[in-house]
Structure 1
Amino acid sequence: MCRNIRTLRPPYAEQVSEDDMRAAALQYVRKVSGFHTPAAHNRHAFDHAVDDVAHATAELLASLQVRGRSG
């Protein structure tokens, strides 16, 4: 479970998909919660957190400005 979340912004990643952002969100929530797979009674909270983190990641990447790059 303890793999690194990779950087998702240019120049480290040119193409970032929703799947990439969701995978990073899932890894983050797993790490913070301590659960690789939550019990049924925690599934909703776990899935909701993954959705929220993925959404926040998308907003962050959309609003970052990388200096020294054209485009």
Structure 2
Amino acid sequence: MCRSIKTLRPPYAESVTEEDMRAAALQYVRKISGFSRPAAHNAAAFDRAVEAVAAATGELLSSLEVRGGAR
């Protein structure tokens, strides 16, 4: 499942959208939780995890410095 997460930093990706980061976060949370769709009683925790991972992804990507390229 996580094998389908693509690299989101240059030079592998020219532009990264919020949708790209959320899709990667969703794949990650699905993999570690073992749920592709959580039950209703787990949905809020699942959604919070996706949002937290997406936010961390955005923070990471904005902080990376790629040698020979712009930030």
- TM (norm. structure 2) is 0.94
Aligned residues: 70
Match of 2:47 in 1: 47
Aligned to 1:57, the other structure's residue is in SS state helix
RMSD over aligned CA atoms reads 1.1
The amino acid that maps onto 1:66 is V
The amino acid that maps onto 1:54 is A
Match of 2:21 in 1: 21
Provide the rounded CA distance (Å) in 2 between the counterparts of 1:55 and 1:61: 10
Provide the rounded CA distance (Å) in 1 between the counterparts of 2:64 and 2:25: 18
Provide the rounded CA distance (Å) in 1 between the counterparts of 2:59 and 2:70: 20
* Structure (1/2) with the larger helix percentage: 2
Percent identity, please. 70
Match of 2:6 in 1: 6
Deviation of 1:25 (Å)? 0.2
Where in structure 1 are there 5+ consecutive unaligned residues?
none
Aligned to 2:4, the other structure's residue is in SS state coil
Deviation of 1:68 (Å)? 1.3
Provide the rounded CA distance (Å) in 1 between the counterparts of 2:65 and 2:42: 37
Where in structure 2 are there 5+ consecutive unaligned residues?
none
